[in-house]
Amino acid sequence: MFIFEKYLLLMIPLVNGLNDRPIIGILSQELIPGLEVTYIASSYVKWIEAAGGFSARAVPIIVDSNQDFEELFQYINGLLIPGGGVSLDTSPYSRVAKLMMDLAMTSYESGDYFPIWGTCLGFELLAFLTNDKLPNLIRCEADDLALPLVPTQEFENSRVLQEADSYLLDVLANQNVTANYHY
């Protein structure tokens, strides 16, 4: 099992005493439940590193480890909860995500913004956790299905889309461009 030691976070080089590149934690998942083997798909690391020209840095959050997650939270600027195939209810993935979400909410209430992005199962987990751990999914068949994105009325006030280009928003809302792999 790979364990990311906290002292490695302190080895990030500083330029003129200031490093303004975001540090984004990425949750790992169990490869095989109960075997204490976790993974993070390299595509998520590459996505974070290429995000918006910021050259963000990815930090692995090994869910089934001895990491001090509360201390680690203090060193990162955001969290990516990736997709995958583990339990939303009982996995170390869901336990650590819940802890990080609680820390983010506490941070937000004290005036600090800590973004959390959930992709696929990660988004499902965020919906599950914010719904008092009550399942809110229905059966569907959407395997390799491209659809338009249907925005809510509040999307223009969201931090994710408030500065999006109008052309991009038009494409998302009117063309079959979103990838859907759900069941």
Please name the fold of domain 1-12+20-137: Rossmann fold (3.40.50)
Nearest alpha carbon to residue 116 among 126, 107, 128? 126
* 177 compared with 151, residue with greater pLDDT: 177
- Where do the CATH 3.40.50.880 domains begin and end in the chain? 1-12+20-137
pLDDT score recorded for residue 81:
97
Residue 1 pLDDT class (50, 70, 90 cuts):
very low
- Summary mean pLDDT of the chain: 84
pLDDT at 146 over 50: yes
H-helix segments, 24-109 = 42-50, 69-73, 92-109
pLDDT at 88 over 80: yes
Model-wide pTM > 0.75: yes
Nearest alpha carbon to residue 117 among 108, 126, 128, 109? 126
